[in-house]
Chains A and B, each alone.
Chain A
Amino acid sequence: DAMVIQNPRYQVTQFGKPVTLSCSQTLNHNVMYWYQQKSSQAPKLLFHYYDKDFNNEADTPDNFQSRRPNTSFCFLDIRSPGLGDAAMYLCATSRGGTSYNEQFFGPGTRLTVL
């Protein structure tokens, strides 16, 4: 089945130690998103790629970076994780450029910062 895959499902890191979360998709969608979801809160968009074009949200901290080496993969890099960055990170994809484009979500990576 075509899907959005996130690895790892659970990630533990230390305060200040860089961490990378990965997302891959078999849907061949041209748009990929990263959301941060803290406990009992709505998902918050960090940034998205439309093809190779990177679109950062205005309030996304500089500590968060992203890479998309090809259509299938997208990475979220947290350069110096703080305790406040502990959250579920959701990757999603969509087929952009159409009048309606459903977003398909991965299962998420739960990040713990010690």
Chain B
Amino acid sequence: AQTVTQSQPEMSVQEAETVTLSCTYDTSESDYYLFWYKQPPSRQMILVIRQEAYKQQNATENRFSVNFQKAAKSFSLKISDSQLGDAAMYFCAYRTNFGNEKLTFGTGTRLTIIP
């Protein structure tokens, strides 16, 4: 079974600075998807960014980018120019590409933005 580990329960960053959230995973599969989801306080979870395992190029979405290291099974999220609206719980998630619709989540990292 796949597992996802987020070793940083809490992180904080100064507004406008850059922060990196860590995620590692364990799988025996070669084809899969990885995601970062954001869950703001009392609001619904939304997708931040995704990475397909067969693509070597790291995904980027505006201020959000990932560092995907397939051999090391590492998938970190970098947030540049942090904004107050980035404050949220961030979950790393794994999904196989073999018909199973299931997402396996990590335990999350709570990100605080310091004005």
Q: Could you tell me which A residues sit within 8 Å of B by CB distance? A: 4, 31, 33, 40-45, 48, 50, 55, 57, 90, 92, 94, 96, 99-103, 105-108
Interchain residue pairs A-B with the least CB separation, the first 9: A42-B105, A105-B45, A107-B44, A105-B44, A42-B107, A43-B105, A102-B47, A31-B101, A45-B102
Residue of B nearest to A31 (CB): B101
Chain B count of residues within 8 A CB distance of the other chain: 22
Question: Knowing A43-B91, A106-B44, A108-B44 touch, does A101 contact B107 (C-beta < 8 A)?
Answer: no
A106: which B residues are within 8 A, CB to CB? 44
Q: Could you tell me which B residues sit within 8 Å of A by CB distance? A: 4, 9, 33, 35, 37, 42-47, 50, 52, 91, 97, 101-103, 105-108
In the complex, the answer to whether B44 meets A96 with C-beta atoms within 8 Å is: no
Q: How far is the CA of A40 from the CA of B101 in the complex (A)?
A: 24
Chain A to chain B contacts (Cβ below 8 Å), 30 pairs? A4-B44, A33-B101, A40-B107, A41-B107, A42-B4, A42-B91, A42-B106, A42-B107, A43-B45, A43-B103, A43-B105, A44-B105, A45-B102, A45-B103, A48-B101, A48-B102, A55-B101, A57-B102, A92-B45, A94-B101, A99-B97, A101-B101, A102-B35, A102-B47, A103-B103, A105-B37, A105-B44, A105-B46, A106-B44, A107-B42
